[in-house]
Amino acid sequence: IIYDIGGGITNGKKFKAVQIGGPSGGCLPESMLDLPVDYDSLIAAGAMMGSGGLVVMDEDTCMVDVAKFFLNFTQSESCGKCTPCREGTKRMLEILTRITEGQGREGDIELLENLAKNIKETALCGLGQTAPNPVLSTLKYFRDEYEAHIKEKRCPAGVCEKMLHYEISDACRGCGLCARQCPVQAISGSPKAKHVIDQNKCIKCGACMTACPFKAISKA
């Protein structure tokens, strides 16, 4: 479906994952591209047929951020009748938010798994029972990204804003365009010499990276 019918990934990017089944579906990795699209196969993989919609993600996607995005939706949709869904999804969202802001702690992954499994087993309706799917599937197939966020305080995809770190490489020609575009004067340097970014001042807006004509600025 993705490559033959959809035409593949735009801008020549590398395929990373596909989220199938709506907000309560699951995220499946590249190794499952040949998975048959049928009810039983998707359920076994940790996703679901749902509405049949596909959200295709490339290499620039952070899977922890994706899990937070979909859980935020289902948490907002919770009617609040049963405690597992009302309180459980709220606690999971708080943990995911901490992780994406660089405040993740050892044990957060296990806590997320425990909460998710309890919500699935005890929620009263389909929304609560399937709400943890995006979290469980990303933990299953992209656990290394969670670990990078928590242990290394790093977002591998360079998406989580509060964890970004902009650096100027030796390719810098000292033209000063980046410094002139910086809204908080966080970049300094002499003409025709490599410039530097003051990380304490940097607000991670990315204006410098966009302005640089020599691609000398990277984010990690």
Domain annotation for the chain: domains and CATH numbers: 10-151 (1.20.1440.230), 164-219 (3.30.70.20)
The pLDDT value recorded for residue 24 is 85
Instruction: Please state, in angstroms and as integers, the Cα–Cα distance from residue 102 to each residue in 39, 165, 214, following that order.
Output: 37, 12, 30
- Is residue 12 classed exposed, middle or buried when 0-12, 13-18 and 19+ CB atoms within 10 A define those classes? exposed
- Is residue 105 classed exposed, middle or buried when 0-12, 13-18 and 19+ CB atoms within 10 A define those classes? exposed
The pLDDT value recorded for residue 132 is 94
Q: 53, 68, 44: which is closest to 134 by C-alpha?
A: 68
The pLDDT value recorded for residue 31 is 94
Is 183 strand, coil or helix? coil
pLDDT by residue, tens only, the chain of 220 residues = 999 999 999 988 999 999 998 888 899 999 999 999 999 999 999 888 888 889 999 999 999 999 999 999 999 999 999 999 999 999 999 999 999 999 999 999 999 999 999 999 999 999 999 999 999 999 999 999 999 999 999 999 989 988 888 999 999 999 999 999 999 999 999 999 999 999 999 998 899 999 999 999 998 7
Query: Which DSSP state fits 31?
Result: G
Task: Give the CA radius of gyration of the chain.
Answer: 20
Residues 146, 64: Cα–Cα separation, whole Å: 6
Residues 105, 146: Cα–Cα separation, whole Å: 11
Residues 123, 99: Cα–Cα separation, whole Å: 25
Q: Which residues lie below 8 Å from residue 17, measured CB to CB, with a gap of 6+?
A: 27, 28, 29, 30, 57, 61, 63, 66, 141, 142
CB–CB of 98/149 below 8 Å?
no
CA dihedral 150, 152, 154, 155 (to 10 degrees): -50
Residues 42, 25: Cα–Cα separation, whole Å: 9
